[in-house]
């Protein structure tokens, strides 16, 4: 049995790509996209017709409307290939505007429903700012499920659990990147691999906290740099993995053992924690890594949204 098939015994495998033509070979349950992945995909020759069709059908519409139609076109194409859910992201430029995030999410869901897609098959991705988490809480009350992304801290996870969001995507690789860069020449790769990887440790802490305290929010590890990080999280609710790493897992026959267990987490002595807005903001302020990576991630997604705007305007 290859590692990908073995991993699927413990964890729901999710494909992290906008290139839906790659999805079938890995047979994931779900799939995730983000602005950077969609920007990359629409510049591929294989997706030029999809782009041109979307532009033709919505000629003269505001750019934000055309963008949402494009995202939903990709999402519908992905849903035709998988049995589960697709995550579609709200424009990162709305990350600090609760009302605008809610409105944009409602519009995206409406576009999916117009294509005959049940809203249960769509997760609206929202940056895990305080404002984004409050938007997710409102959407969940309306029956629109959310995926809180750019999640780097325990405080963000606690707030998401309190808000009742459907799923969170704690980032592994970007946490790893920050600590490796911060350590500089003192970084010891072997000593910080596997269960000792700081990104892996962050996800494990969140997973154990949720299971210990009966928090229903699903944990989906994301942003991986190597298959060692993935294997160290076998047993997590879900893991969203790029096609390159899915291919590596598929080619590797090394045995995979379950690393995370809800039953074991329930036996742990872990204190409950809840955060109001002041507590959340203070915790984020005290976590230099989380503050840096959240801001950096929003800026990067905003930059790619602007590039996508330009492409839509000039295509």
Q: What is the DSSP string of the chain?
A: --HHHHHTTTSEEEEE-S-GGGTGGG--SEEE--HHHHHHHHTSGGGHHHHHHHHHHTTTS-HHHHHHHHHHHHHHHHHTT-SS-EEEEPPGGGTT-HHHHHHHHHHHHHHHHHTT--GGGEEEEEE-SHHHHHHHHHHHHTT--EEEEEE-SHHHHHHHHHHT-SEEEEBSHHHHHHHHHHHGGG--TTTTSGGG-HHHHHHHHHHHHHHHTT---EEEEB--SSHHHHHTTTTSSEEEE-HHHHHHHHH----------HHHHHTS--------HHHHHHHHHH-HHHHHHHHHHHHHHHHHHHHHHHHHHH-
User: Per residue in 107-132, pLDDT tens?
Assistant: 999 999 999 999 999 999 999 999 99
Residues that are catalytic: 125
User: Per residue in 131-144, pLDDT tens?
Assistant: 999 999 999 999 99
pTM of the predicted model, to two decimals? Answer: 0.96
Average pLDDT, the chain: 97
pLDDT over 90 (residue 35): no
User: Per residue in 150-172, pLDDT tens?
Assistant: 999 999 999 999 999 999 999 99
- Confidence bin at 314 (pLDDT 50/70/90): confident
- Confidence bin at 179 (pLDDT 50/70/90): very high
Fold exhibited by the domain 3-314: TIM Barrel (3.20.20)
User: Per residue in 234-248, pLDDT tens?
Assistant: 999 999 999 999 999
Domain ranges of the chain: 3-314
- Confidence bin at 313 (pLDDT 50/70/90): confident
- Confidence bin at 102 (pLDDT 50/70/90): very high
Output the pLDDT for position 315: 77
Q: What is the mean pLDDT of residues 263-275?
A: 98
Q: What is the mean pLDDT of residues 58-63?
A: 94
Q: What is the mean pLDDT of residues 80-94?
A: 97
């Amino acid at each position: 049995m290859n590692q990908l098939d073995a991993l699927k015994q413990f964890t729901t495998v999710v494909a992290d790509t906008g290139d839906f033509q790659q999805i079938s070979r890995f047979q994931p349950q779900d799939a995730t996209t983000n602005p950077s992945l969609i920007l990359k995909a629409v510049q591929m020759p294989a997706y030029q017709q999809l782009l041109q069709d979307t532009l033709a059908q919505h000629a003269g519409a505001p750019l934000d409307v055309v963008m949402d139609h494009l995202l939903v076109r990709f999402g519908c194409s992905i849903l035709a290939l998988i049995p589960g859910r697709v995550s579609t992201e709200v424009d990162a430029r709305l990350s600090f505007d609760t009302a605008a995030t809610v409105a944009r999410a409602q519009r995206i869901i409406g576009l999916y429903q117009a294509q005959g897609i049940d809203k249960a098959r769509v997760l609206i991705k929202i940056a895990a700012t305080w404002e984004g988490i409050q938007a997710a809480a409102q959407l969940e009350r309306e029956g629109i499920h959310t995926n809180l992304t750019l999640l780097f801290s325990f405080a963000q996870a606690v707030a998401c659990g309190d808000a009742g969001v459907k799923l969170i995507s704690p980032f592994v690789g970007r946490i790893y990147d920050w600590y490796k860069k911060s350590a500089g020449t003192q970084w010891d790769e072997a000593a910080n691999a596997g269960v000792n990887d700081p990104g892996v440790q962050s996800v494990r802490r969140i997973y154990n906290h949720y299971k210990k305290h009966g928090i229903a929010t699903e944990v989906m590890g994301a942003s991986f740099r190597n298959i060692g990080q993935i294997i160290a999280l076998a047993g997590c609710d879900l893991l969203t993995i790029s096609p390159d790493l899915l291919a590596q897992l598929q080619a590797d026959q090394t045995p995979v053992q379950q690393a995370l267990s809800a039953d074991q987490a329930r036996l742990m002595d872990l204190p409950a924690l809840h955060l109001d807005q002041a507590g959340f903001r203070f915790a984020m302020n005290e976590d230099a890594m989380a503050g840096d990576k959240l801001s950096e991630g929003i800026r990067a997604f905003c930059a790619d949204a602007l590039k996508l705007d330009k492409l839509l305007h000039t295509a």
